[in-house]
């Protein structure tokens, strides 16, 4: 059994992701931005996917200022994207790089914090599309590039504590995260033993981002880990030290004692 401490305290070598191409969705803000920066700092070429170009440019500038490796801005609204858009995304990666070594399905939305009896259907559909269906479609479309990785690609989906144990008023968000856990287990079982490709989930835990502040407006953000604090778990799963880890749902933060 993989120890949580091994992941949360993971000290990544600086060249962990050298020569690798890693795609991060929601790379303009919060956890995605921090993960993109950490990947670049560890040698990767990072594809910054997201829907707000100004935010992606900001992440790009931060990577450049830190002297990181290449980053490329890839505007995409995963909620509105069609299967043709996802296929085109894969074709662009294939023609430019020939392979994709890591995919971090991080983008997500919160939806409403309200009883299910009052939950709006249109919000429900948006949350399920963004947090689940679009991530499935994107990953499926990118599979040819991921399977072309010579190092064995690592695919990460983003879970949540409310995707493991139901909690009142978390509505479609909780349901989408439960489904992500199921998607990871199902897909991981299908790829088990088929080379080094691996599919896992990360639960970031309470992290100081805009989404967390929206969900818990009365909370003091200073009491929370920053997005940068939790990047070791992502680096662990993206690099060679996690070869053979497949179908797991890992915590990016140590359990509180």
Question: How many Cβ atoms sit within 10 Å of the Cβ of residue 114?
Answer: 13
Site for ligand NDP contains 52 (CB under 6 A): yes
Kindly tell me which of 37 and 55 has the beta carbon lying closer to ligand NDP. 55
Residues 102, 155: Cα–Cα separation, whole Å: 6
**Alpha carbon of residue 256 to chain centroid:** 23
Kindly tell me which of 25 and 45 has the beta carbon lying closer to ligand NDP. 25
C-beta of 87: minimal distance to ligand NDP in Å?
Answer: 17
C-beta of 195: minimal distance to ligand NDP in Å?
Answer: 27
Kindly tell me which of 41 and 48 has the beta carbon lying closer to ligand NDP. 48
Letters for 115-154 (x = contact with ligand NDP by CB under 6 A, - = none) are ---------------x------------------------
Strand order in the sheet with 21-25: 71-75, 45-50, 21-25, 102-105, 154-158, 198-203, 249-251
DSSP label at 150? S
Task: Kindly identify the residues of this chain, within the stretch 157-216, that bind ligand NDP according to CB under 6 A.
Answer: 158, 160, 204, 206-207, 209-212
Q: Which of 10, 173, 234, 236 is catalytic?
A: 173
Site for ligand NDP contains 50 (CB under 6 A): yes
Kindly tell me which of 149 and 208 has the beta carbon lying closer to ligand NDP. 208
Q: Which residues of 29-55 are buried (b: 16+ CB within 10 A; e: fewer)?
A: bbbbbbbbbbbbbbbbbbbbbbbeeeb
Site for ligand NDP contains 106 (CB under 6 A): yes
Q: Which two tokens stand for residue 19?
A: 């020569």
Site for ligand NDP contains 253 (CB under 6 A): no
Residue 234 annotated in active site: no
Position among 28, 102, 171, 239 found at the interface with ligand NDP (CB under 6 A): 28
Residues 104, 172: Cα–Cα separation, whole Å: 21
Q: Quick one: which of 195, 96, 77, 178 has its CA closest to 137?
A: 77
Kindly tell me which of 114 and 210 has the beta carbon lying closer to ligand NDP. 210
Q: Which residues of 62-84 are buried (b: 16+ CB within 10 A; e: fewer)?
A: bbeeeebbebbbbebebbebeee
Q: Which two tokens stand for residue 211?
A: 């989404």
The catalytic residues are 173
The contact set with ligand NDP (CB under 6 A) reads: 25-26, 28-32, 50-52, 55, 77-79, 106-109, 130, 158, 160, 204, 206-207, 209-212
């Amino acid at each position: 059994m993989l120890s949580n401490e091994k992941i949360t305290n993971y000290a990544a070598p600086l060249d962990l992701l050298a020569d690798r191409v890693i795609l991060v969705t929601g790379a303009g803000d919060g956890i995605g931005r921090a993960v993109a920066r950490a990947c670049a700092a560890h040698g990767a070429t990072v594809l910054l996917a997201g829907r707000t170009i100004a935010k992606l440019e900001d992440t790009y500038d931060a990577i450049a200022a830190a002297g990181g490796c290449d980053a490329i801005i890839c505007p995409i609204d995963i909620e509105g994207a069609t299967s043709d858009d996802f296929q085109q995304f894969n074709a662009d990666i294939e023609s430019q790089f020939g392979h994709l070594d890591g995919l971090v399905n991080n983008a997500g939305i919160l939806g409403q914090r309200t009883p299910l009896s009052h939950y709006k259907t249109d919000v429900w559909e948006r949350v399920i599309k963004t947090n689940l269906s679009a991530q499935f479609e994107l990953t499926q479309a990118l599979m040819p590039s991921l399977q072309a990785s010579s190092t064995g690609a690592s695919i990460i989906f983003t879970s949540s504590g409310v995707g493991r144990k139901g909690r009142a008023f978390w509505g479609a968000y909780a349901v989408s995260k439960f489904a992500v856990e199921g998607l990871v287990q199902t897909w991981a079982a299908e790829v088990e033993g088929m080379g080094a490709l691996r599919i896992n989930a990360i639960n970031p835990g309470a992290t100081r981002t805009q989404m967390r502040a929206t969900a818990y407006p009365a909370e003091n953000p200073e009491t929370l880990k920053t997005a940068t604090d939790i990047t070791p778990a992502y680096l662990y799963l993206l690099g060679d030290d996690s070869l053979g880890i497949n179908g797991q749902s890992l915590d990016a933060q140590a359990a509180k004692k």
